[in-house]
A and B are shown apart, each in its own frame.
Chain A
Amino acid sequence: MKITRKEFLKISGACLIGLSGKKALAVLDSSAKGQTSSASASKASKQLGMIVDTRKCIKDQGCTKCIEACTQAHNIPSFKDPAHQIKWIWKKPFDDLFSSYETQYLEPSLKDESTPVLCNHCDSPPCVRVCPTGATWKRKEDGIVMMDWHRCIGCRFCMAACPYGARSFNWVDPRPEIQNLNPDFPTRTKGVVEKCTFCSERLAKGQQPACVEACPEKALVFGDVNDPKSEIRQLLAKSYTLRRRPELGTGPNIYYLV
């Protein structure tokens, strides 16, 4: 069967497009699967999470030990101007975290009580989905949503995408505003986004996150939510917990005991 060069090229081109289309669909499918059904996929591997026991936390009004520990461990600058503040873990009134549960008849002790806020290390993190360079990604081995400050271009798309306000941007050089330099952890420069990384550098040394260790009331419980025998799972089985904005499908891994 004789075939002209033109026809041959047409057929090869169509085949190539067909094959690459299939591959492209596979990529899109897997990335979509990775985001939406990762709730089921991640059950197989480790997923680190945290319980914030607001009952224990409330007792110490004005206690900021977790915040201080995190600040010290990670060279977080202290800005007076709230516009430029860098916050990895901080405290906000309960009402602000859970505005959809807000009622005018909320138990008074909860109403304006300071509750720790931090990155939720979501199962399906929108910040990871939008990052154009892969400077933030979800680690397969332990589910931490990690940051690579070498790669971040400072576009702040992740900040727009995060439904929890967990991320901060270095609007100016942070070094002058760091109170006590910790030589064991780098600082960051102006122009990159940062957030809580579940103290991955401490976990690598077998330690607990700084905030968990520092809490005098042991109100922060850290562990693998996929491991049925872990302390965190046992606590979750015993009590009712809330997560922030679960209806968004992000699958947050910070559970609040109320």
Chain B
Amino acid sequence: MRDRVWIIAGLFLFLGLVTYPVWHDLVAHTASTPPVLAMPAHEKQCVAPLSYMRTSHMKLLLEWRQEVVREDKSKYVSFNGKVYNMSLSGACLSCHKQQEVCTRCHNYVGVRTPYCWNCHLDPAQIKRSAR
């Protein structure tokens, strides 16, 4: 049992490393707050209720993808009766002005950003870089 010292030391090191996300902010005097997203100016309601979008926006996007690409549909009737075009760049980005609405929260929560923007374009970004 002369290894007892090393084992306990190793355990403490492990615990320290594994709880790093918890004590980093305390030690470095930083505070991580969830990003505050600028809400769209002219629209008060998204295509679905906020609570639903919080939990299931990817589900909605995947449903849209299935219907637009594989079933040749284009119109989405939302819960409040408003009709939208099922389009990531067209509908989502018409209110949320930039695609970084996705990356900021995804980065904060540590969920890998889906590769949507590898193909899909942000019209506003193109216009800006064209200028």
Contact = CB atoms under 8 A, between A and B. Distances in A.
Nearest to B65: A150
Contacts of B122: 183
A194 B47 CA distance: 31
Given A150-B65, A186-B89, A181 B121 contact: yes
Nearest to A185: B121
B20 interface: no
A10 to B, nearest CB: 43
A151 to B, nearest CB: 9
A148 B70 CA distance: 7
Interface in A184-218: 184-189, 200, 204
B13 to A, nearest CB: 41
Nearest to B74: A204
Contacts of A188: 119
* Dominant secondary structure of chain A at its interface with chain B: loop
A141 interface: yes
B115 A189 contact: yes
Given A139-B72, A186-B89, A200-B72, A181 B115 contact: no
Among B70, B89, B119: residue with most chain A CB under 10 A: B119
B85 to A, nearest CB: 10
Given A189-B115, A189-B118, A183 B72 contact: no
A149 interface: yes
B4 interface: no
Contacts of B120: 186
A141 B126 contact: no
Nearest to A174: B119
Interface in B74-131: 74, 89-90, 115, 118-123, 126-127
B27 interface: no
Interface in A124-159: 137, 139, 141, 146, 148-150
B65 A183 contact: no
A242 to B, nearest CB: 31
Contact of A186 (B70, B72, B119): B119
Contacts of A183: 89, 121-123, 126-127
A137 B69 CA distance: 11
Interface string A152-187: 000000000000000000000000000001011111
Given A149-B119, A184-B123, 18 more contacts: A75-B121, A139-B72, A146-B69, A148-B69, A148-B70, A150-B69, A183-B89, A183-B121, A183-B122, A183-B123, A183-B127, A184-B89, A184-B90, A186-B119, A186-B120, A186-B121, A189-B115, A189-B118
Interface of B: 65, 69-70, 72, 74, 89-90, 115, 118-123, 126-127
Ranked nearest first, the 10 interchain pairs of A and B with the lowest CB-CB distance are A183-B123, A186-B119, A189-B118, A183-B126, A186-B120, A181-B126, A148-B69, A183-B121, A187-B119, A189-B119
Interface of A: 75, 137, 139, 141, 146, 148-150, 181, 183-189, 200, 204
11 contacts: A139-B72, A146-B69, A148-B69, A181-B126, A183-B89, A183-B122, A183-B126, A183-B127, A185-B121, A186-B119, A204-B72
